[in-house]
Amino acid sequence: QIMTQMNDGHRLFLQSFMSRGILNAKEVKQLFKICCLKYKIPHPENEREAQAPLLEFVRTINNHIEPFHMQIRKGVSEDDGSSSYGLVCTSESTITKLASDYTPSELEFFKKLIEIIVASDNAEVGSTETLNLVSRLENVKKLSKDDAEDLLSRLETNKWIKMTHGKISLATRSLLELDQYILEIYQDDVEKCNICKKLCLKGQTCPSCGTKLHFHCASKLFEKEENPKCPKQGCKKAWPYEIRRTPRKGEYFLKRLFTQELQRRVKKERQTYDMSVFADWRIM
Ligand SMILES: [Zn+2]
Ligand SMILES: [Zn+2]
């Protein structure tokens, strides 16, 4: 089989991945379009028809970068099941692959942060607890709490962590690039999801056998199930959690439509109301 050569479009695509680290599905589609337009590569306008050429485009890049132990890979958010794509180094499973962007002290801090996130109940920790990690750094130059705060905001900007309502958790990029590291170091403390077989930090756990499912994997599995049961062979106990429904693409559209309709009705009602007041005056 003859390997397709990389052209300037492929190279621009790859460069963007190198500088941005991780892109969501929408950004990947946009980037593909930009690369095609810039180098006059024929591509379908229609997004659905552009799927296959996009996959082929990424496959060509992956064929060329795999000898260098790099790969563009898909990762899934544990919060909402959305997909992101990252440029992953496949040869190293350690966290030191981030060494070009962070100092040894910062990497040590990030390791400790991962440690407390993995040990926590919902795979998220508070910011105070996190900042206190500066006192636990060993064999590296100390960090102040200000340094740590600055580091946290850089980790967030580079999409390694997520900070919501004062809680810190690992973002899709960490799951995509540091899963091997986490599975190796914390093999006794972490589980893989029974459905997608990937590392699962946030999710639902069977109280009987400990089987774990991502929220989005549980949603898919139990979508049409009246009485959800643990998927593990030999367990099959009732699944005692509420199943989050994953909205389909069309539903966002429907929701928007309903909101518009609702606004229209409110407006109409207000008009009716105003009219009636006016009518009252006329009677008077
Ligand atoms: Zn899963
Ligand atoms: Zn079970």
Ligand 1 centroid – CA 87 distance (Å): 21
pLDDT of residue 251: 52
Q: What is the pLDDT of residue 57?
A: 94
193 belongs to a structural domain? no
- Whether 130 is in a domain gets the answer yes
Mean pLDDT of the region 67-88: 92
Asked if 76 contacts 200 with a C-beta cutoff of 8 angstroms, the reply is no
Among residues 89, 105, 139, which one ends one of the domains? 89
pLDDT above 50 (res 278)? no
Is the domain of 99 the same as that of 135? yes
Is the predicted pLDDT of residue 26 greater than 70, yes or no?
yes
Q: How far is the CA of 267 from the centre of ligand 1 (A)?
A: 44
pLDDT tier at 3 (50, 70, 90 boundaries)? confident
What pLDDT score was predicted for residue 93?
Answer: 78
Domain hosting 279: range is: 252-284
Same domain (yes/no): 46, 119: no
Q: Assess whether 78 and 53 both reside in one domain.
A: yes
CATH of residue 165's domain is 1.10.10.10
| Greater pLDDT, 140 or 278 | 140
Report CA(133)–ligand 1 centroid distance (Å). 30
Q: Which of 152, 180, 208 is at the close of a domain?
A: 180
pLDDT at 282: 34
Instruction: Indicate whether 33 belongs to any domain.
Output: yes
Please provide the average confidence, as pLDDT, over all residues in the chain. Answer: 86
- For residues 66 and 111, membership in a common domain is answered with no
What total of structural domains would you count in the chain? Answer: 3
Question: Cβ-count burial of 71 within 10 angstroms (0-12 exposed, 13-18 middle, 19+ buried)?
Answer: middle
What is the distance in A from the centroid of ligand 1 to the CA of 193? 4
Clarify whether residues 29 and 71 are in a common domain: yes
The predicted structure's pLDDT at residue 276: 37
Same domain, 132 and 168: yes
pLDDT digits (tens, 9 = 90+) for 179-229: 999 999 999 999 999 999 999 999 999 999 999 999 999 999 998 888 999
Q: How far is the centre of ligand 2, averaged over its atoms, from the C-alpha of 236 (Å)?
A: 6
Q: Which ligand is nearest to the CA of 198?
A: 1
61: domain CATH number is: 3.90.1150.220
**25 assigned to some structural domain:** yes
Query: Of the candidates 89, 112, 128, which is a domain's last residue?
Result: 89
- Shared-domain flag, residues 107 and 172: yes
> How far does residue 83's CA lie from ligand 1's centre (Å)?
12
Find the 212 Cα to ligand 1 centroid distance in Å: 8
Q: Is residue 232 part of a domain?
A: no
Residues 115 and 142 in one domain: yes
Residues 99 and 85 in one domain: no
Residues 81 and 115 in one domain: no
Q: Is 163 a member of any domain?
A: yes
Q: Is residue 192 part of a domain?
A: no
The secondary structure of the chain, three-state, reads CCCCCCCHHHHHHHHHHHHHCEEEHHHHHHHHHHHHHHCCCCCCCCHHHHHHHHHHHHHHHHHHHHHHCEEEEEEECCCCCCEEEEEEECCCCCHHHHCCCCCHHHHHHHHHHHHHHHHCCCCCEEHHHHHHHHHHCCCCCCCCHHHHHHHHHHHHHCCCEEEECCEEEECHHHHHHCHHHHHHHCCCCCEEECCCCCEECCCEECCCCCCEECHHHHHHHHCCCCCCECCCCCCCCECCCCCCCCCCHHHHHHHHHHHHHHHHHHHHHHHHHHHHHHHHHHHC
Ligand showing the shortest atom-to-Cα distance for residue 237: 2
- CA 194 to ligand 1 centroid distance, Å: 7
pLDDT tens readout for residues 229-276: 999 999 999 999 988 765 555 555 555 555 555 555 555 544 443 433
Q: What percent of the chain has pLDDT over 90?
A: 68
Say yes or no: 142 and 160 in one domain. Answer: yes
Do 174 and 151 sit in the same domain of this protein?
Answer: yes
If you average pLDDT over residues 151-169, what whole number do you get? 95
What's the pLDDT at 271?
45
Q: Is 261 within the bounds of a domain?
A: yes
| Per-residue confidence (pLDDT) for residue 206, from 0 to 100 | 95
Question: Residue 77 pLDDT more than 60?
Answer: yes
